[in-house]
Amino acid sequence: MSAIHQFLTLGILLLCHQVGISQLQEFENPIAEQRADPWVWKTDDGTYYLIATVPEYDRIVLRKAESINGLKDANEKVLWRKHDEGVMGHHIWAPELHHIDGIWYIYFAAGEAEDIWNIRMWVLSNDSEDPMEGDWKEEGKIETDIESFSLDATTFEHNGKRYLIWAQNVRGGEHGTALVLSEMSDPVTLTGPEVVITEPEFNWERIKYNVNEGAAVIKRNGKIFVTYSASATNHNYCMGLLWIDENADLLDINNWNKSPGPVFYTNEDLNRYGPGHNSFTLDEDSETVVMIYHARDYKEIEGHELDDPNRATRARVVYWTEKGFPDFRQKEKD
C-alpha cells in the first residue's frame, strides 16, 4: 500500500470514527414544505412520525414513513380540527407526539375562537397501537400556577421522573416568554415547583419580541441539553442552548448553564433563514442524532411573519465536540 493510500485510508477511518458512517447520509431537504415547528417521533420498530404546525393554524396532521427521507412523500392524515367556538378555536400551534406507557399523546397550543391570543397548552390522547388510527380524546388543558399565555409543551423522562418544559409569559406585559420546567405526576398533570430555567436576556433573544420558546431535549455524554428558539419568527429566529449535568437536581436553577450566544441561526450564504423550533430524533442506526427544524429559504417577508406560510421542515445530523457538546454545524449546508 502506498504512503498516499495509507494516508487517505487513515483519514477516512478517522472521519468515520469521529462522525459515524451514517452521518454522511444526505437528507432530501426540505422534508416537508409549509410545515413549521416540526416534531419527529421514532418508534422502537423504526417507524417515523412527523407532526407539525400547518400555515392555516386550524388542524393537527400526521404522516409516517420507514425513514426520515420517506416522510417527504408520505401521505398525511388530519387527526383533529379546531373548535368552531370557545377554547381550542384558533392558533393551533406546535403539536408534539409522544408515546408514554402505551398511550399516544399530542401536546399542542391553542387560542380561543373569540380571543385568539389567549393561548394555552392542551393535550389529546389515543390508545391505538398506531397514532394514525383510532380516536383522539381531548384530555383538557395543562394547568399551570400562573394563568397566562403559554405554549410549546415538551415532555421527557429522567431517572424515573417525568418533566414538562414549556414557554410562558411569567412576568406579564411585554416581557415575552420564558422557559418553565416542572415535574409531572402523569402525562397531563404538573406537580411543581414550576421553575424558570431561561428567559430572554441577551440581545439575540429580544429582536422584535422577547422570546424563549420551542424547547427540545437531548440526553448525551452525561448531560441533558435543551435547545430553544428566540426572537421573532422571521430571519432573526435562532436557537439557543441550555445544559445541566445528568446527576444534578433539574429543579434547581443554579444547576443550569446557558450559552451566551446562539448556536444555530440565519446563514445567508446557504439561504437558510430563521432556523428554529427544532426536535431531535435518531437516524436509522438508532445512534446518530438528527435535528429536525424549520427554516425559510428567503429573507424578505411580506406582511407579518406569522402570515408567511413557507417555513419548511428540514433534517440535519448533529455532530459532537470533543467536550461532548452538540455541534449544529452553523456554516454547513443541510
In angstroms, the CA 173 to CA 192 distance is 24
Selection from 254, 240, 237, 245 nearest residue 195 by Cα: 254
Selection from 40, 94, 72, 37 nearest residue 274 by Cα: 37
Q: Would you give the DSSP letter of residue 143? A: P
The helix/strand/coil state of 178 is strand
Cell digits for 198? 431561561
Q: Residues 297, 273: contact at Cβ < 8 Å?
A: yes
In angstroms, the CA 256 to CA 252 distance is 8
In angstroms, the CA 93 to CA 195 distance is 23
Based on the residue annotation, tell me whether 334 is a catalytic residue of this protein.
no
- CA quadruple 239, 244, 249, 253: dihedral positive or negative? negative
Selection from 183, 151, 332, 171 nearest residue 249 by Cα: 183
Q: Residues 257, 242: contact at Cβ < 8 Å?
A: yes
Based on the residue annotation, tell me whether 26 is a catalytic residue of this protein.
no
Q: Exactly one of 37, 96, 183, 283 is catalytic; which is it?
A: 37
Strands (E), 21-88: 36-42, 48-53, 59-65, 76-81
The helix/strand/coil state of 229 is strand
Q: Would you give the DSSP letter of residue 174? A: G
In angstroms, the CA 161 to CA 178 distance is 22
Q: Would you give the DSSP letter of residue 55? A: T
Q: Exactly one of 96, 112, 213, 283 is catalytic; which is it?
A: 213
Which residues are annotated as catalytic? 37, 213
